[in-house]
Structure 1
Amino acid sequence: MVFGKTKTKEPAKKAGFVKRLRARLNRGDSWLTYDLTKLAPGGNIDADVLEELEAALVMADVGVDTTERIIAGLQRRLDRKELKDIAALQEGLRRALSDILTPVAQPLVIAEQQNPFVILMVGVNGAGKTTTIGKLARRLQDDGHSVMLAAGDTFRAAAVEQLQAWGERNNVSVIAQQTGADPAAVIFDAYEAARSRNIDVLIADTAGRLQTQAGLMDELVKIKRVLARHDPLSPQEIMLVLDASQGQNAMVQAEKFHAALGVTGITVTKLDGSAKGGILLPIADKLRLPVRFIGIGEQADDMQPFDADEFVDALLSTDNAAQDS
């Protein structure tokens, strides 16, 4: 089943989400379009305009390498006399961003199978893993799946309590043990419980860790190995949760977690904060990892499947467009 495709009320909710996304990505000065009109007040596009656009992209967390790729493409169009005015530049930029993001806009697919479909949630402290788990559990239930949660963050008692609160809110069972228990054992116990109860999806929380903490990263590898020992296909999804406000550090996190675990999907949170949204571009450009969801707030409807075209429209919308959409 393609996740998020079965609800009849989804279009209306998605429209509201897109409007909020535009507004929140464009708080204050729009990070691209507003500046484009300033870059070429006379309407003429030249190398100087592209140079200033390059600086704007880098400042918006797009990263040097990805920015250079985008600007090189625009420069070729300029050389062919195809960028005659601001409208042509905006359309060229839109196409460049869409070309990067469209291949990674891949929805989470819950395959029908005999054993539980296991989603292993990973990421650094503060990225929003537990909140994402709660929202994901709700959406999976709405799509008709039975869900169980595994409290694999055994380092913090508050983490278990937070997950249990989400479980109670969604009427979902949470498998937990005492603080300090072996996370791999907790998650395996949850897997066995989910299998015995014919649960469709098991979502496993893990302790937040910095990508530089080798011992804790090894622990995630152990969890993955223990699950695969009992089901070679498990975990079916290793979802990395990234805080968009971390900027280029989020890119480093994605590289490290992917190298250690083989990340299969990404959820980007906190696009409603200080983030400028650009960090999705270098992640898509360099790692080609599927982006499953993006989040712009605390409510369940503030997390939606990633749509590349809608995201690019939100990035390039002016303040007025964001308000009027």
Structure 2
Amino acid sequence: MKIKAAVAKAPHSNFSLETLDIEKPRANEVLVKIKGVGICHTDLIARDQFIPIPLPAVLGHEGAGEVVAVGDEVTKVHPGDAVILSFLSCGHCPRCEEGLSTYCQDFPTLNYGGCRADGSTPLSKEGAPVSGSFFGQSSFATYAIASERNVVKVTDQVTKGVPLEILGPLGCGIQTGAGSVINSLRCKKGSSLIIFGAGAVGLSAVMAAKIRQCKTIIAVDPVTARRDLALELGATHVFDSADDNLADKILALCPRGADYALDTSGNPTVINNAITSLGSYGVLGLVGVPPNIESLSSFNIAHLITYGIQIKGIIIGDSQPDTFIPRLIDLYISGDFPFDRLIKTFAFEAFNAAIDSHKKGECVKAVILTN
């Protein structure tokens, strides 16, 4: 079947909108007609080879759409079902069996390899293979092949009027921010949380912190519009990351240090500042991708030991998508998680313009409408 796709052909270059061929779903696979797909920082660093997926490649891992066809062994969804696509996991390694599928021991191979587990790709152009199966989906396209394991059925929620085309970012970025606060840090009622970075992940964390009834929610970001939005979404205080007096201002709000901090920037200097902002037995969650694979952050070991500071790496908010994503949608329906305020939609033909808009800070989360 012919599809339209945004193809990454070279690092730091525009995506090429092309016609490709896609295979029929195999026994455990699902063919999804994509309605909307979010653009995530992870897609861009894969294009730029921080994640060394072979190019040309179809990326995209925040897809949402309608099931068109299913393989013979699929029972979870049926044609016509509304679904969100999330990350892929094996389902049988020790971490998956513990309910920790975000730490699947085959996660890098299954999500970053550019192919199925057997080395094949469902995508091609004029007979030549094109890397696909990115996060088990490659949803920068009008259609995507996913596994039964990484589709989340949301037919009931869509039937209630929730717009399917904007739900894709729940599969990664928004789920990461919210899950980091709710599942990973498990911020307590009345606690203090500092969020470094107010992009889609950081602002989702702000909303989740409000849901958790944190008393002090501080968002730090260099963009004025994002700081303003953070206040509207639940932050109690916001600061410019370039403020020379940032540490003193945080200390004035949290004299004994904060209970929790979440870094979404991946910047080693910011991470070190986050550590020093924590109080006794404070916890730092790390979700931001660093500038390069060799990036290191230094910290005072004695300080960590003396105050029991904990540092926790977090993948996709420690979420179980089949249960956590519907929970987030229910919170959206109730008005407690207005993630739609982060989203700006673009036509498929404006794919590269959407990326430019995001880079300029004109939107928090760009979502591509594919039809």
Q: TM-score, normalised by structure 2?
A: 0.33
Larger RCO (CA within 8 A; separation ≥ 6): 1
More helix by share: 1
Return the structure number with greater strand share.
2
If the length of structure 1 is used for normalisation, what is the TM-score?
A: 0.37
